[in-house]
Amino acid sequence: MIATIRIITLLLVGLLLLGCTNNPPAAPPNISVNNSSTGVNMSKNPTVVFETTKGTFKAEIFEKEAPITAKNFLGLVRSGFYNNLTFHRYEPDFVIQGGDPRGDGSGGSDKTIPLEIVPGLSHDVGALGMARTNEPDSATSQFYIVVGNAKFLDGQYAVFGKVTSGMDIANQLRKGDRMNKVYVE
C-alpha cells in the first residue's frame, strides 16, 4: 500500500513539473503580448497589400509606433477608400504619391489628423509617409512612398510604414498608375 502511494505521489509530482514551464502560451497573430521579463512587445504590426497596375507590393504599417497616422490610414484602407485611386505625383529619386480621390493632389478624405513625428522613424527608401499641406495638422488620405533621398523630410512629415516586399514594383510606379485594390492582409 505504501509503495502504491509513493508511485502515485511521484506520478503527480512529475505531471506537475511537466506542466510548469517558463514559456508563455503562444499568442494568436496580431495579439499583443508583452514579455515582462524583457519588456519587449512581441505583437505584429499589420501588413497592407497594394495591388497596382505595375504589380503588387506590401507594407508594414507602424500601428504601435505611429498610432494616430496608422489608425487613419488603416481605416481608409478597410473602407476601400484607396481602391482604384491613382498615383498623382512622381518625383524621380524622391517619392511616388497617391491617395487623392480627385487625382490631382488637391483632394483628400473628410477627416484631418494631427502631425505625428516619431523619433527613430526616418524617410529611408521604402518608407511610407503622410502628405499634408503647409499646415502641420492637415494630413488626410494622401501618402507617399520614398524612392530616393528624402531624409530632409525627417521631423516635418509623419512616417507610418515601410515597404516590406515588392520595392521593385514601387520603384516602377509613375503618375497615372492605379491602385486597383488596397487591403489589410
Within 10 angstroms of residue 126's Cβ, the number of other Cβ atoms is: 19
DSSP character string of 64-127: TTSHHHHHHHHHHHHTTTTTTEEEEEEETTTEEEE--TTSSSS---S--B-----TT----TTE
The amino acid at 124 = D
Q: How confident is the model at residue 87 (pLDDT cuts 50, 70, 90)?
A: very high
Judge residue 81's burial from the number of C-beta atoms within 10 Å of its C-beta, 0-12 exposed, 13-18 middle, 19 or more buried: middle
What homologous superfamily does CATH list for 45-184? Cyclophilin-like (2.40.100.10)
Give the pLDDT score at 2: 57
Give the pLDDT score at 130: 98
* pTM confidence score: 0.77
> Can you give the residue ranges of every domain in the chain?
45-184
Q: What is the pLDDT of residues 100-156, one digit of tens each?
A: 999 999 999 999 999 999 999 999 999 999 999 999 999 999 999 999 999 999 999
Of 1-10, 66-75, 80-89, the one with minimum mean pLDDT is 1-10
Q: What is the pLDDT of residues 35-58, one digit of tens each?
A: 434 344 456 999 999 999 999 999
> 23: which 3 cell numbers?
514559456
